[in-house]
Structure 1
């Protein structure tokens, strides 16, 4: 655990021991509510699972001498809000609102929106900020079509050369998924599952594959969280399938690890597709007051 101060206040780092130092995602606990409610200090009362934000790959767990730019900080906060669906798909992200909320000028906000646009999380609108990209079946299918072979290859590569530390990290994330599921904490189970895929990606031994996975994963996380929030079936299935995947990795069986991983991604894809299709088929309730505003 450690502390560092960025351009908009203090952060508290927690629970990074299970992550490789140069992982693509470093988990940081910081309250993503209105900071004025906590007098500019990290919130110690909010649930850590509900206040996680994400840091970019180039910020290592051991290198906080140079804090990120204001734009990078805003990216981290907005990313977390979008992934956790606290900013609804299709909702507007106004430059003025974000500037006021975090006490920054519009320049870093625009920088953040450009980065989120490149990750496929935001569609920018001239002089209006950005729009959170909608969840759609077409986008889900496009993402998962890529994830199936890429995740399978990563698991196979890990199985071919897994070290004890990697096996321990994978076991730890699965155990945390199980514990979160037992206490009916879908959000904590989601973050544990996200940490598991990070371990696989970080140890796949192929930097090109890792970059591809990192790019796809940014968009996939929203759909993965949506599924975890909507149904416990996917959490239980994920725990069982990931235990089977880990068993194949322990046996140093790349073919089995690939097959199990591809099957679990397909299963998650189908469950998410079914729930999202049902949601999109429901009549949309229009908030007349919000629409007029």
Structure 2
């Protein structure tokens, strides 16, 4: 316990400021507002999130560790650019971990979880029907997150979320590939069917096949 109560309060304020900057910049990267390669100017971040330069620097250090930010000599920090080859490697790692989580989810899911997963499928179907491809992309993420939450595999979840955060650029690009959302929907339906049936082996297989198709999509050049 600090001898000076005021010092303790200052430490808490500094920690809160660092967390605010960390959460804020991470959210902007995940949403695509901060694009790959974009410079992250400390003074701009200080003003936007209402924090000190020290808080910004600590937040950027944490995001560098997460693989979302990179330091460029003599130029400062920028949103890290992930190559297609690295994106494929990341998705291959996800395939193993998310396959495991899908199997665990099939074994653990309750009737309430079944209903929530089916509702998400219906929302995904409605987004495609409405031509809301970016909305579908968001629901795609929610579906994966829901299955991870049901699995309760905390170590796998933290690793997967860190890996997924590096693929924002490709997440949106895949959503815009002609025909990909419809194919993706069918893949998610098979995952949900296996989870609802309590078939762990089928759930793992369906998840791995889905991410194998994601890898195939990553290797497809974007439409001109």
Establish whether TM, by shorter chain, passes 0.5.
yes
Question: CA 1:111 to 1:233, structure 2 compared with 1: closer, same or farther past 3 Å?
Answer: farther
**Is the partner of 1:274 in helix, strand or coil?**
coil
Q: Say what the alpha-carbon RMSD is for the aligned residues.
A: 2.3
Which secondary structure does the structure 1 equivalent of 2:37 belong to?
coil
1:70 counterpart residue number: 17
2:90 and 2:163 in contact (8 A); partners too: yes
1:175 CA drift (Å): 1.9
Normalising by the residue count of structure 2, what TM-score does the alignment of the two structures yield?
A: 0.84
| Residue number among 208, 212, 220 corresponding to 2:167 in the alignment | 220
Query: What is the SS of the residue equivalent to 2:221?
Result: helix
* Number of residue-to-residue matches in the alignment: 211
Equivalent residue, structure 1, for 2:97: 150
Give 5+ residue unaligned stretches, structure 2: 1-12
Q: Larger relative CO (CA 8 A, sep 6+): 1 or 2?
A: 2
1:62 counterpart residue number: none
Q: Which residue of 2 aligns with 1:236?
A: 182
* TM-score using structure 1 length: 0.65
Does the alignment pair 1:85 with 2:32?
yes
8 Å contact from structure 1 (residues 140, 273) kept in 2: no
* Greater helix content: 2
What are the ranges of 5 or more consecutive residues in structure 1 without an aligned counterpart? 1-65, 280-293
The answer to whether the 8 Å contact 2:195/2:203 transfers is yes
Deviation at 1:251, TM superposition (A): 1.5
1:250 is matched with which residue: 168, 173, 196? 196
The counterpart of 2:212, out of the listed 244, 255, 266, is 266
Does residue 200 (structure 1) correspond to residue 154 (structure 2)? The answer is no
